[in-house]
Chains A and B, each alone.
Chain A
């Protein structure tokens, strides 16, 4: 047996500096998100972000070349959280259950993420990266609708199915939720009911 075979397995080397740097990055992103949520749709300044995260402005710019890059990283971070907090449930339930579940999940997402979404939409400017994330977010909503209403959508022609999905997405848009809550003064439950009734009318009959 060689000496090499005798020696214990070498532990994976943990790069402490890199870990700390990643942790700092995450804290900066979280500080950005907290400020964007509180002051939506205003984009927080580097000084505000640094202060909230407990670092210097220099530390912020050591990890992100500019505020736009931070905005993009924070959007990605938020999108992961949105997906994690809104898993698909009851996709094999009966029609009423599926509508209820989809609406409640979507309502909770809208309620939680409205300020950040507004900030993203208002401040996307001409950033292709942010625009792409807005498109991605809408595609995810459509994918969820396709999953939850698969039985009903399967009865439609390709064109009709596309049109129903476009309209369901518009109906359950974040700003549509915001108008129900802020403009029409509906409670969370009342707003869910309004969406449930409309979705039920828009969907074709469930196949036997």
Chain B
């Protein structure tokens, strides 16, 4: 029996790891400079050859999409819904802190994705999917407050909440208005509390 690393499974594992290191190199570069990096830059950062990049991804577009998917999966894993059965204040705090951490971590990558929507149709679908996930999270966290509202009012409220907790809304609080992480969270918490209708009696 040969060493595990030379088995087909070992090779596949190594190849998967290389793929992941390519996508992570891509994300690192996006954080440093808000432009799509070249394949050579990505390869250099990942410590492999440009050829190795194209052995795993047909072209830069496929690599870009795979990286957005990878970033989204990482973002989802970091932003698990917590305290969904807590009282109103706990739910608002939990939702805001989780969302704020996501914005803080992923804003530079998000900006590049948005700036390149016109170049890649498939990116639009990804952005749509991410926005839907943000809305679904709010529906989960604030279901008690939302369930009593007529459909149109509920929709409009979710739209306002989504605008409020958008990546760029976070970016402006931090960059233009100079708020600290905690201050910015406090703004979102207060304003979400104002926007939401009263929590039904007998509910946490």
Contact = CB atoms under 8 A, between A and B. Distances in A.
Interface of A: 41-42, 122, 135, 138, 162-164, 166-167, 169-171, 173, 175-176, 179-180, 183-184, 186, 193-195, 197-198, 201-202
Q: Which secondary structure dominates where chain B touches chain A?
A: helix
Contacts of B159: 179-180, 184, 186, 194
Contacts of A193: 156
Nearest to A123: B115
22 contacts: A138-B176, A163-B186, A166-B179, A167-B169, A167-B187, A169-B172, A170-B166, A171-B160, A171-B163, A171-B164, A173-B163, A176-B163, A176-B166, A179-B162, A183-B128, A183-B131, A194-B155, A197-B160, A198-B157, A198-B163, A198-B195, A201-B195
A175 B131 contact: no
A167 B164 contact: yes
Main secondary structure of the interface of A (DSSP, over half): helix
Interface centre among A166, A180, A195, A197 (most CB of B within 10 A): A166
A-B pairs with lowest CB-CB distance, top 9: A198-B160, A170-B169, A176-B163, A194-B156, A167-B191, A163-B187, A122-B115, A171-B163, A194-B159
A61 B146 CA distance: 57
Nearest to A198: B160
A163 B184 CA distance: 9
Contacts of A201: 160, 194-195
Contacts of A198: 156-157, 160, 163, 195
A167 B190 CA distance: 10
A167 B191 CA distance: 8
Interface of B: 114-115, 118, 128, 131, 153, 155-157, 159-160, 162-164, 166, 168-169, 172-173, 176-177, 179, 186-187, 190-191, 194-195
Contacts of A180: 159
